């Protein structure tokens, strides 16, 4: 059986409530959350913890000083990690449901006000993906986008490690 691992990467997130909500989603699906500085807040802020509720101890959160530090640490873990990375952007070339996500996947999201830098998007041009929406809509809330895409990856994988029964239902 393949070991599946989803990595949610937030490049310079700005809003603590979004990051808290994303941490809660990561806890629910077992994804690792990577935060690339500078952050628009401290992870100790009450707003982040309140949004994540009591889930902080159930999620692996890693913080990096820069994109370069993050990228080199991932290279140490998986030499071809960037070929397994997908950039979520309104400038994406493909629908987020099109890729067949590999058993180890990185989903990279940009900051709320500016998105991802073009140099990261350009490097992953064939893996720049988007969530379809009306043409007059600017973008989804970051935490909603992470949830939509994270659950799509798990749907494609067949929901490994996720309970498909109701809470407390043992049948």
Is residue 153 left, alpha or beta, with left meaning phi > 0 and alpha meaning psi from -120 to 50? Answer: alpha
Residues annotated as binding site for S-adenosyl-L-methionine?
88, 110, 131, 139
What pLDDT is stored for residue 41 in this prediction?
A: 80
- Interacting residues of 98 by C-beta distance below 8 A, sequence separation 6+: 129
Q: What is the pLDDT of residues 158-168, one digit of tens each?
A: 999 887 766 66
Distance CA 131, CA 127 (A): 13
User: Greater confidence, 16 or 171?
Assistant: 16
Strand pairing partners for 35? 10, 63
Q: Give me the architecture of the 5-157 domain, per CATH.
A: 3-Layer(aba) Sandwich (3.40)
Q: What is the pLDDT of residues 29-87, one digit of tens each?
A: 999 999 999 998 877 666 566 655 567 778 999 999 999 999 999 988 888 899 999 99
Name which of 12, 10, 38, 6 is nearest 22 in CA terms.
10
Distance (Å) of CA 51 to CA 6, 32, 67, 77, 111: 21, 17, 25, 30, 18
Number of CB atoms found within 10 A of residue 160's CB: 15
Give the confidence band of 99 by pLDDT, cuts at 50, 70, 90: very high
Contact criterion met (CB below 8 Å) for 87 and 129:
yes
Q: DSSP secondary structure string, 19-71?
A: HHHHHHHHHHHT-EEEEESSPSS-TTSHHHHHHHGGGGGGS-EEEESSHHHHH
Residues annotated as binding site?
88, 110, 131, 139
pTM of the model: 0.90
């Amino acid at each position: 059986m393949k070991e599946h691992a989803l990595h949610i990467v937030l490049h310079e997130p700005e809003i603590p409530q979004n990051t808290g909500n994303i941490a809660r989603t990561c806890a629910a699906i077992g994804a690792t959350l990577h935060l690339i500085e500078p952050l628009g807040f401290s992870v100790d802020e009450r707003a982040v913890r309140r949004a994540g509720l009591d889930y902080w101890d159930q999620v692996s959160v890693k913080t990096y000083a820069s994109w370069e530090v993050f990228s080199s640490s991932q290279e140490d873990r998986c030499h071809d990690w960037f070929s397994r990375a997908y950039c979520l952007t309104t400038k994406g070339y493909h629908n987020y449901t099109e890729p067949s996500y590999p058993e180890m996947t990185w989903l990279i999201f940009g900051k709320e006000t500016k998105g991802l830098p073009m140099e990261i998007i350009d490097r992953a041009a064939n893996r720049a993906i988007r969530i379809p929406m009306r043409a007059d809509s600017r973008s989804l809330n970051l935490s909603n986008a992470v949830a939509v895409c994270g659950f799509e990856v798990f749907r494609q994988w067949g929901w490994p490690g996720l309970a498909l029964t109701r809470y407390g239902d043992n049948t």
